[in-house]
């Protein structure tokens, strides 16, 4: 099931002109507020009719302004999880999640109701009213409701933005579970790099109504040219790492495409593959293998690409084996060390720099 979008829409103060594709898995639509993310999501869902454009989903035309085709939202079979949940206040949880089931075509693929309820852990909430649910519970019910109408595509529009930190951590494992079942392609709209690093396979970067970049998350996030768009504090690459050994005192050894890492606070068992987000500002670059350093995570690397911005910082992408790492250093350091593409060096990352929240399954 693939989605192809090419639309243009003029607002009073800004114009959206965006084209992107999305395939199976999770495609993140990333951008600052006002970049047009929600407009794009609404156009795909059928909640907004753009001035011009064409939207195709798995071979079906949802929108074609040239031919005057615009399928109403009710007939697109695209589930939407909104930021505020939008549960129906007059219905209990059981009736909320059953709302769309009657519109699903007979024999439409997807897990059955019991499996969805179990996956989202909402079995005990069935008789409750939405007003008696916590923010995280509301979002889990909203996801179940969207899945039960057997959507061909699931759009999640900033589903965690209204939740506080602990609630986000509570719901992220459910989203990972949903992604791993692979039942439905997901468009995940967000301005949070941490969520993208944990969940997304592909990313579409929006800025002022334009698509600035799209591609695989690991490629786009390790591209030094992306640092100004993502923000210097948020920029960082994603490493796929497999847990190979757990030591006493809470340290684990993980295998990545570029060598082993020793990290604390990993709760996953041996053999599990995790995504690890390493912020560019937490990576040091050394020309010689450092001795007597407290960090145990020193990986041989080759400088791949250098991006100089307007500020004092410089972003580097480092190739470590088959993986890529993003580092941010000062322009001063770049000159004194005479760093250039192709140069061999060592990437040093501090074990504690990898925050718990940035480790995803």
Partner 1 sequence: MLDAAAYTALALSLKVSLIATLFSLPVAIAVAWLLARRRFPGHALVSALVHLPLVLPPVVTGYLLLLTFGRNGAVGGLLDSLGIVLAFRWTGAALAAAVMGFPLMVRAIRLSIEAVDPKLEEAAATLGAGRWAGFARVTLPLIGPGILAGAVMGFAKAMGEFGATITFVANIPGQTQTLPSAIYAFLQVPGGEGAALRLVLLASGVAIGAVLLSEWLARRMAARIGA
Contact by Cβ (8 Å): 314, 277: no
- Candidate residues 104, 251, 268, 284; the one interacting with partner 1 per rule CB under 8 A: 104
In angstroms, the CA 315 to CA 328 distance is 5
Task: Return the range that interacts with partner 1 (CB under 8 A); candidates 22-30, 43-51, 183-191, 299-307.
Answer: 43-51
47 binds partner 1 (CB under 8 A): yes
Kindly tell me which of 74 and 338 has the beta carbon lying closer to partner 1: 74
Backbone phi, psi, residue 158, to 5°: 45, 55
Contact at 8 Å (CB) between 259 and 245?
A: no
**Does 130 help bind partner 1 (rule: CB under 8 A)?**
yes
Q: Taking CB under 8 A as the rule, does residue 106 contact partner 1?
A: no
- In whole angstroms, what is the distance from residue 331 CA to residue 64 CA? 49
For residue 10, what are the CA distances in angstroms to 14, 15, 18? 6, 4, 12
Question: For partner 1, which residue of 1, 11, 23, 88 counts as binding (CB under 8 A)?
Answer: 88
Residue 302, C-beta contacts closer than 8 angstroms, at least 6 positions apart: 318, 319, 342, 343, 344, 345
Write down the least CB distance from residue 254 to partner 1, Å. Answer: 40
Identify which of residues 3 and 354 has a Cβ nearer to partner 1 in the complex.
Answer: 3
Asked if 77 is part of the footprint of partner 1 (rule: CB under 8 A), the reply reads yes
Q: Which is nearer to partner 1, 90 or 106 (CB)?
A: 90
Q: Which two structure tokens, joined as six digits, stand for 107?
A: 């024999």
CA 77 vs CA 135, 193, 313: distances in Å = 25, 28, 46
Residues 270-329 within binding reach of partner 1 (CB under 8 A) = none
- Exactly one of 3, 18, 80, 217 binds partner 1 (CB under 8 A); that residue is 80
Burial degree of 13 (CB within 10 A; 0-12, 13-18, 19+): exposed
Instruction: Give the CA dihedral 294, 299, 300, 304, nearest 10 degrees.
Output: -120
Give the residue carrying structure tokens 């250093």: 329
Q: Is 73 in the site for partner 1 (CB under 8 A)?
A: yes
**339, 345 Cβ separation under 8 angstroms:** yes
Region of 101-109, 216-224, 234-242, 287-295 interacting with partner 1 (CB under 8 A): 101-109
Task: Work out whether 161 is an interface residue with partner 1 (CB under 8 A).
Answer: no
Judged by CB under 8 A, does residue 107 bind partner 1? no
50 contacts partner 1 (rule: CB under 8 A):
no
43 binds partner 1 (CB under 8 A): no
Q: Which of 33, 59, 74, 288 binds partner 1 (CB under 8 A)?
A: 74
Establish if 89 lies at the interface with partner 1 (CB under 8 A). Answer: yes
Lookup: tokens for 111? 């897990």
Which residue lies nearer to partner 1 by CB, 82 or 346? 82
Q: Which of 20, 36, 40, 46 binds partner 1 (CB under 8 A)?
A: 46
Q: How many CB atoms lie within 10 A of CB 131?
A: 8
Distances (CA, A) of 44 to 36, 62, 304, 309: 12, 8, 37, 35
Region binding partner 1 by CB under 8 A among candidate stretches 53-61, 69-77, 163-171, 339-347: 69-77
Which of residues 84, 176, 260, 305 is near partner 1 by CB under 8 A? 84
Q: Which of 16, 40, 55, 78 touches partner 1 by CB under 8 A? A: 78
Binding site for partner 1 (CB under 8 A): 45-47, 72-80, 82, 84, 86, 88-90, 99-100, 102-104, 129-131, 145-146, 149
């Amino acid at each position: 099931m693939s989605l192809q979008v090419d639309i243009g829409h003029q607002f009073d103060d800004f114009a959206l002109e965006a084209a992107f594709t999305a395939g199976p898995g999770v495609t993140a639509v990333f951008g600052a507020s006002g970049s047009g993310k929600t407009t794009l999501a609404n156009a795909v869902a059928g909640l907004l009719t753009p001035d011009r454009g064409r939207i195709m989903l798995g071979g079906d035309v949802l929108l074609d302004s040239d031919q005057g085709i615009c399928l109403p939202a009710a007939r697109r079979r695209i589930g939407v999880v909104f930021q505020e949940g939008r549960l129906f206040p007059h219905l209990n949880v059981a009736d909320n999640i059953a709302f769309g089931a009657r519109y699903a075509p007979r024999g439409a693929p997807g897990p059955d109701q019991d499996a969805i309820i179990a996956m989202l852990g909402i079995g005990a909430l069935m008789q409750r009213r939405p007003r008696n649910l916590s923010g995280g519970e509301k979002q889990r019910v909203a996801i179940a409701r969207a899945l039960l109408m057997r959507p061909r595509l699931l759009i999640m529009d900033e589903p965690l933005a209204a939740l506080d930190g602990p609630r986000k951590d509570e719901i992220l494992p459910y989203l990972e579970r949903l992604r791993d079942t692979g039942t439905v392609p997901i468009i995940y709209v967000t301005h949070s790099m941490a969520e993208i690093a944990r969940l997304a396979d592909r990313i579409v970067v929006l800025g002022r109504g334009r698509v600035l970049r799209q591609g695989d998350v690991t490629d786009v996030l390790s591209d030094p040219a992306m640092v100004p768009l993502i923000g210097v504090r948020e920029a960082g690459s994603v490493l796929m790492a497999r847990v190979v050994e757990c030591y006493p005192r809470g340290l684990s050894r993980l295998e990545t495409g570029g060598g082993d890492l020793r990290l604390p606070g990993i709760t996953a068992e041996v053999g599990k593959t995790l995504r690890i987000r390493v912020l560019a500002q937490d990576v040091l670059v050394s020309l010689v293998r450092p001795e007597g350093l407290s960090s145990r995570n020193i990986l041989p690397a080759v400088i791949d690409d250098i991006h100089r911005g307007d500020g004092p910082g410089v972003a580097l992408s480092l190739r470590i084996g088959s993986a890529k790492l993003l580092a941010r250093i000062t322009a001063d350091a770049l000159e004194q060390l005479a760093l250039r593409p192709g140069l061999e060096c060592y990437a040093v990352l501090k074990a504690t720099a990898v925050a718990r929240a940035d480790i995803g399954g």
